[in-house]
Amino acid sequence: MFDIGFSEMVIIAVVALVVLGPERLPRVARQAGQWMGKLQRYVSDVKSDINRQMDLDELRKLQSDVTTAAKSLEGSMQSVVSDAQASLDGLSNAASGISDEPRTDWDKIYANRRARDRIKDRRVERARQLGHKVPKPRR
C-alpha cells in the first residue's frame, strides 16, 4: 500500500518510542493495528461491493440479451405458425370446394351403380354372417 522500507519503519519505531515512551507505546501500537484492520476491512468491503455491482450489471445485460433473443424467436415461431395455418386453411378451403356431386350424366350413372353394388355387397355379407344361403348372383 505504502512504499515504506524496513529502515524507514525502524526510524518511525524509534521516534515513536522516544515520543510516547515505553509505557504508552504498546497501547498505541495495538490501537494503530486495530485502525489498520478496520481500514483494510472497509477497503475490502468497498471492493466486494463494486465487484458485486459489476456482476449485477453483467447479469442484467445478459438477461436483456436473452429476453430479446427469446422475443425474436417467439415472433419468428408465430410467423411460421401463422404461415402454416394459412396454408392449411387454404388446403381445407380447396378440399371443401371438391364436392361429391357428379358433374356429368355418366358420373351420375356410375355413382348410382356403385351405390347399388355397395348395398348388394352389404346384404350378401350380412346374410353370410347370419348363416343364410345366398343364391349366386345373376348376370
* Nearest to 110, CA basis, from 122, 139, 118: 118
The amino acid occupying position 128 is: R
pLDDT at 101: 61
* % of the chain surpassing 70 pLDDT: 89
Question: Please, what is the average pLDDT of the chain?
Answer: 86
Q: Is residue 99 over pLDDT 60?
A: no
pLDDT at 118: 93
State pTM to two decimals: 0.41
Other CB atoms within a 10 A radius of the CB of residue 127 amount to 13
pLDDT at 52: 93
Q: Is residue 100 over pLDDT 60?
A: no
Q: Is residue 61 over pLDDT 60?
A: yes
Would you say the C-alpha torsion 26, 27, 30, 31 has a positive or negative sign?
A: negative
* % of the chain surpassing 90 pLDDT: 42
pLDDT at 68: 93
| Domain spans, the chain | 1-80, 103-139
Query: What is the average per-residue pLDDT within 52-63?
Result: 93
b/e burial code for range 47-63 (CB count within 10 A of at least 16 → b): eeeeeeeeeeeeeeeee
The single-letter DSSP state of residue 102 is -
pLDDT band at 102 (very low <50, low <70, confident <90, very high): low
pLDDT at 133: 74
